[in-house]
Structure 1
Amino acid sequence: MASKKTSSRKPLLGGAAMLLTALAFFLFLPGLNTASKATRLTVHKKMGARAIIDELYRSRSITSKWPALVTITIIPRVHRVKPGRYTIPPRMSNFMLMYYLHTHPQDEVRVTLPEGIDLRKTARILSRKLDLDSAEFMMATADRNLLLKKGITAKNAEGYLLPGTYDFAWASTPEEAVGFLVGRFRHFYTDSLKQVTAQRGLNETALLTLASIVEAETPLDQEKNLVASVYLNRLKKNMRLQADPTVQYALGGAARRLYYKDLAAGSPYNTYRHNGLPPGPICNPGAASILAVLNPANSNFLYFVATGKGGHYFAESLTEHNANIKKYKLTLSNTGH
């Protein structure tokens, strides 16, 4: 009897071995269900495993959905995939495909944030390039806990998002993006620069506020230290800064030509009506503008006006300044503006 029972189990054991062999073949054979060339996959926030597999099928990364579903059922750990954009190598096994997505870093996106843009323009650029909502980014820039964690006592992160070209993870959260950009400023703003700031009689907010005005006044790095000297000289003499960009910021909306009535805007950012610096930065200044405030030109200039050719005329007296205004108007008339 014993011999009969033993012989009756052999087919069962053999069948199990065959099943395991087929399963291993099915899970681990390269190229069985995956594309023969590299493909791309986009995983949005809150996408579940089945939605990701649907996307793999739509992007032709896999030829059939059920093998991938079986894979994540047998090995559930690999179904956890972070949001992002992935480049998937060709001819992977079902298991290696899911393991790759589970462990591989997502693609990065190179984003350029120009000098002098404010928070809203920064939000628009990032929302176009990343899987990020601009409104949520704006909320993150005013998040008290995040700001305090980054050492910012101002009401928002205006001025602290150092412009530049950076690589972001495509699925960066608003908090991660804000934290990264503030971190770039913190890296730039070294202890030696902090010492110079104190020697100039400025604090961090005042430095960034004045640098943001310099940034908004001129795109030319070679004259930023002259513009900085004008405003520092005016501050020393208790003269109002009368900086047009602060009025633009007070008015909000797109930049436009200013009229005399605009100079009466009641905002505390309007430096035509209020002495001293405005309450905070009006944009995010670049490194050159920050350094210009810390190393201004040694000048007695109190005024400047556009040349009409890209730069500015500088003057020490109102008489000289009025003469420069006439030169500017003459240039405009000669060019048909």
Structure 2
Amino acid sequence: MSSKDKQKNWQEIKKKKLKERQEEASIVRKIVLVCLFLFLIAFTAAGYYAYSYVTSALGPVDETDEQLIDVEIPIGSNSTRIGNILEENGLVKNASFFRYYIRYKNETGFQAGDYQLSRSMDLDEIIAALKEGTVYQEYALSFTVPEGRWLERILEIIADNTNHELEEIREKVQDEEYIESLIDRYSILTEDILAEGIRWPLEGYLFPARYDFVEEKPSIETIIEAMLQRTEQIIGRYFADVEESDYNIHEIMTLASIVEGEAQKAEDRYKISGVLYNRLDRNMRLEVDPTVAYAHGEHFSRTLYEHLDIDSPYNTYRVVGIPIGPINNPGEAAIKATLQPEENDYLFFYARTDGEVMYTKTFQEHQEVLREYRD
């Protein structure tokens, strides 16, 4: 090859390499530009999300809902407890955001007392109301009903804290004429509560909460109806869920009482609720132990096979579908979980005495869990 040809060949190689470097540089520039573009999109989206979240959290939970909600802020409540109370009553979207917001604004001076607030109030309006305060009411009579108690126990709590005899209270809540009058006045009550086989018509409907009375000796009717009003108020918060449900309010309250009886932890309520619906969808018996205890009228430390044979409309080991009525008086968390179940594929669960719940999809897996933990 002549020197002239070599030089020409060398120049072509240089041109080729230069072109390759230019193409590589062009690709790198495009990649950098795409990355910058994606970063800007992500940054903008994150900023928009943060702005939207803060704006939403500062605004009303539901600007169209002006219904007043009774809220008690106990003496000595800190910002965390106040935030939790507001969230539990559906007045703020997030208790943690409430706490951080008042810290950011350096808000202090919240007053204990009884308030009437609504979901149409924004966060600043709620803060202003809590700072303005109310005259803390001294009540002549107060008592608390814990979640998940049988109606019989609730009647004992009322008798222990009032001047009413237990037998007198029992007679009132079994008075059919009085129950009929309550059905006429409360939308949560239907004729289902008077079905043959129902042990206590108002079982499931006496809401667990603290009750305060200005008068020293409120009547039995006043006490019972205060509890029914609270239940109606709670159910009203989930009106849309109730409307969308395939089950009526009596069936929902019955399922909620089962969820209350089975779940000790918040996350388990939604999972167990999902399992119950899965079994109902497949026309399976619910087979939950708390219904057996209620059928016997006796709490068991452990449900035995011999307990399962009782002939009762409450016994879900024999009854297909939802039992005849509630087996305790559920709290709001159990009611909410029943109306908003977790979607899952589980058909079985086993609740251990330590509160842990084991979930399984097949009968064989469930039997293995029983052998491991029951034995």
Structure 2: give runs of 5+ residues left out of the alignment: 1-136, 195-200
Q: Find out whether 1:193 has 2:225 as its counterpart.
A: no
2:337 corresponds in structure 1 to 292
Task: Pick from 306, 309, 316 the counterpart of residue 264 of structure 1.
Answer: 309
1:109 corresponds in structure 2 to 141
Task: Pick from 209, 214, 224 the counterpart of residue 178 of structure 1.
Answer: 224
CA distance in 2, matches of 1:255, 1:165: 27
CA distance in 2, matches of 1:198, 1:231: 19
Task: Pick from 276, 281, 300 the counterpart of residue 321 of structure 2.
Answer: 276
2:274 corresponds in structure 1 to 229
| Equivalent position SS for 2:141 | strand
CA displacement, residues 55-94 of structure 1 (integer Å, 9 cap, x when unaligned) = xxxxxxxxxxxxxxxxxxxxxxxxxxxxxxxxxxxxxxxx
Contact (CA 8 Å) 2:139, 2:212: kept in 1 or not? no
CA distance in 1, matches of 2:344, 2:139: 49
CA displacement, residues 136-177 of structure 1 (integer Å, 9 cap, x when unaligned) = 222332332442233422121111111012213441211111
The aligned amino acid for 2:254 is T
Per-residue deviation, 1:239: 0.2
2:254 corresponds in structure 1 to 209
For residues 122-161 of structure 1, the aligned pairs below 5 Å read 122-142=154-174, 143-148=178-183, 149-151=185-187, 152-153=189-190, 154-155=193-194, 156-161=201-206
CA distance in 2, matches of 1:268, 1:283: 15
**What is the TM-score with the length of structure 2 in the denominator?**
0.57
Identity %: 32
Cα distance 1:216–1:254, how it changes in 2: closer, same or farther (>3 A)?
same
CA distance in 1, matches of 2:172, 2:268: 34
For residues 1-337 of structure 1, the aligned pairs below 5 Å read 107-142=139-174, 143-148=178-183, 149-151=185-187, 152-153=189-190, 154-155=193-194, 156-168=201-213, 169-190=215-236, 193-329=238-374
**What is the TM-score with the length of structure 1 in the denominator?**
0.63
The aligned amino acid for 1:113 is V
The aligned amino acid for 1:139 is E
Cα distance 1:329–1:133, how it changes in 2: closer, same or farther (>3 A)?
same
Contact (CA 8 Å) 1:228, 1:297: kept in 2 or not? yes
Cα distance 1:241–1:173, how it changes in 2: closer, same or farther (>3 A)?
same
Per-residue deviation, 1:306: 2.6
Structure 1: give runs of 5+ residues left out of the alignment: 1-104, 331-337
| Equivalent position SS for 1:272 | coil
Per-residue deviation, 1:293: 0.6
The aligned amino acid for 1:223 is D
| Equivalent position SS for 1:253 | coil
| Equivalent position SS for 1:314 | strand
Per-residue deviation, 1:264: 1.0
Contact (CA 8 Å) 1:137, 1:178: kept in 2 or not? no
Cα distance 1:170–1:120, how it changes in 2: closer, same or farther (>3 A)?
farther
CA displacement, residues 272-329 of structure 1 (integer Å, 9 cap, x when unaligned) = 1110111111110000000001111110111111344321111111122122223323
1:15 corresponds in structure 2 to none
CA distance in 2, matches of 1:257, 1:311: 15
| Equivalent position SS for 1:212 | helix
| Equivalent position SS for 2:349 | strand
CA distance in 2, matches of 1:306, 1:206: 23
Over 4 Å off, 4+ runs: none
Contact (CA 8 Å) 2:262, 2:351: kept in 1 or not? no
Per-residue deviation, 1:183: 0.3
CA displacement, residues 195-224 of structure 1 (integer Å, 9 cap, x when unaligned) = 312312011101100000110112222210
The aligned amino acid for 1:150 is Y
Root-mean-square deviation (CA, aligned residues, Å) is 1.9
Cα distance 1:163–1:128, how it changes in 2: closer, same or farther (>3 A)?
same
